[in-house]
Amino acid sequence: MSLKNLAVDNVIIAECSDPGRLRMFEGKQHCSFEPGGRTVCFRGLDTRRTLHSQGRFNRTKELILCDWPTQRFDPRELAELVPNVEKFAITGERIWMLKYDFPPLMNLWAINITGTKLNQTRASSFQRLPALRQLNMRGNALVEIVPFVFRSAHVDIYLQDSPFCPHIANLQVIPGTAPTT
């Protein structure tokens, strides 16, 4: 595991702040399926439309959820909706909690949770993701970081712009250790 304060591709900001996309749907829920397996959804997932588009979601390799409309996000929805997802990003000023841990998604190697009010996570939040290599949690309201447990051997973690960041110099990372239960 390594903590990084380097610039990383932050595609979610560009995708979610595109003025053309924002005007096009005037506050409505909408998903756009793009070439290369990228799916960009705004303001949540409309259950009726999602069921109608299930085949297209199954081909999604990169899912970007912009302006999530509720305070909680349930990562378990990803296993059914996008079982082969490799990159996942979510943003939204209303999100303050991951309702459950991420389910086992065998191909998911990059998670980007930025620009939310997420203030804490559990040690096990990302434990069942064997391919995870990059966790971008910049620009959240994190006030503490618990020692994460990962299945993959190396995960780059990006944490800038959270309230605890002034204390990051005191944070210790010990490779190969996991919290005891």
Asked whether residue 180 is domain-assigned, the answer is: no
Q: Is residue 121 part of a domain?
A: yes
Q: According to the model, what pLDDT value does residue 144 have? A: 74
Q: CATH number for the domain including 30?
A: 3.80.10.10
Per-residue pLDDT of the chain (181 residues; tens, 9 = 90+): 444 443 444 444 677 877 776 677 667 788 888 999 999 999 888 656 666 666 788 889 999 999 899 999 999 999 988 999 999 999 988 899 999 999 999 999 999 999 899 988 899 999 999 999 999 988 888 877 777 888 888 899 888 777 665 555 444 444 444 444 4
Which residue range(s) make up the domain with 65?
2-170
Confirm if 60 and 82 have CB atoms less than 8 A apart: yes
Is residue 131 included in any domain, yes or no?
yes
* Token pair belonging to 180: 């005891």
pLDDT of residue 180: 42
Which amino acid is located at 98 in the chain? L
Q: Is residue 179 part of a domain?
A: no
Q: Residue 100, CB half-sphere, CA atoms under 13 Å: how many?
A: 10
The pairing of strands 38-42 and 30-34 is antiparallel
> Angle 9-13-15 (CA atoms, 0-180°, nearest 5)?
100
Residue 49 within any structural domain of the chain = yes
Residue 163 lies in a domain: yes
pLDDT at 153: 82
pLDDT for 164: 62
DSSP state of 18: -
pLDDT tens, position by position, 107-130: 999 999 998 999 888 999 999 999
Residue 155 in any domain: the answer is yes
5 contacts 176 by C-beta, under 8 angstroms? no
Number of domains the chain is built from: 1
Q: What's the predicted TM-score (pTM) here? A: 0.81
